[in-house]
Amino acid sequence: MSTKFAKRSFAGRKSQDKGERLPTSETNSPFYFYHSPLSWDYIKTGEDSYELLPKLVGMPQQAGANGMGMRIGGGVDDGRTITNLEREQDCVVLPMDLEYDGIEGYMDTYLNQNGSTIYKDRWTSPKKIGSKLMWKTDDQGFNAFKKWLVTEGYIAPPDEVIIEGLKERYQRRIDKRIVTAQNNPEIAAQKAMYEKMYDGIEPAYQALLKPKKGGKK
């Protein structure tokens, strides 16, 4: 049986939530989501359908981490780190107050047993099962957010080089199983799966190049 905990949306402001506390001493810092143009997920979304989605990495807003320092008068100086990611590595750093589905920000906050803040993305929530606290992610909802980022132009579709590399990877997996698949049903099933995935790469890519706008904002 799971237990529901109080939470509130966080968009770059200090949370004053006094809701029920989680039975853990875990604590962390606010974070930025960022995306590298080299990092994409290729996932199955239907029986024979696949999608290309940008990978999002969480970067804590914390002095002493990732080259961040302290501002005079208080607060974290993250400007140099963000500039380096955007200009030097061509990454996309999503602002903490980015509005999606009518809500500002992609973080929620919880309080630990000591009253300190725990920051999680909006799609990850806590459950207490027995004496153990666990975190569960709504993968479908998170994937919808990542797709929306491309559809709305926050993140550009992958370069053709990325797509060609993906095709080569699955072609190698197919080729590796051509001989052994003839007498091994399990290997034959693997080969058929990789063939379906290979065939789905180009349609998934075209869907990103010509997105259907709409949905959550």
Domain assignments of the chain as residue spans, ordered by start: 8-156
pLDDT at site 62: 83
pLDDT in tens, 34-49: 999 999 999 998 887 8
pLDDT at site 15: 45
- Better-scored residue on pLDDT, 49 or 205: 205
pLDDT reading at 186 higher than 60: yes
Confidence of residue 13 (pLDDT cuts 50, 70, 90): very low
pLDDT reading at 14 higher than 70: no
- CA-CA distances (angstroms) from residue 136 to 9, 15, 61, 121? 17, 22, 23, 11
Angle between helices 160-177 and 185-209 (to 10 degrees): 170
Whole-model pTM: value is: 0.84
pLDDT in tens, 38-91: 999 999 988 878 999 999 999 999 888 778 888 887 788 888 899 999 999 999
Distance between CA 72 and CA 187 in Å, rounded? 61
Mean pLDDT, the chain, rounded, equals 87
Question: What is the pairing mode between strands 76-77 and 69-70?
Answer: antiparallel
pLDDT in tens, 129-151: 888 899 999 999 999 999 999 99
- Judge whether 122 and 144 are in contact, CB under 8 Å: no
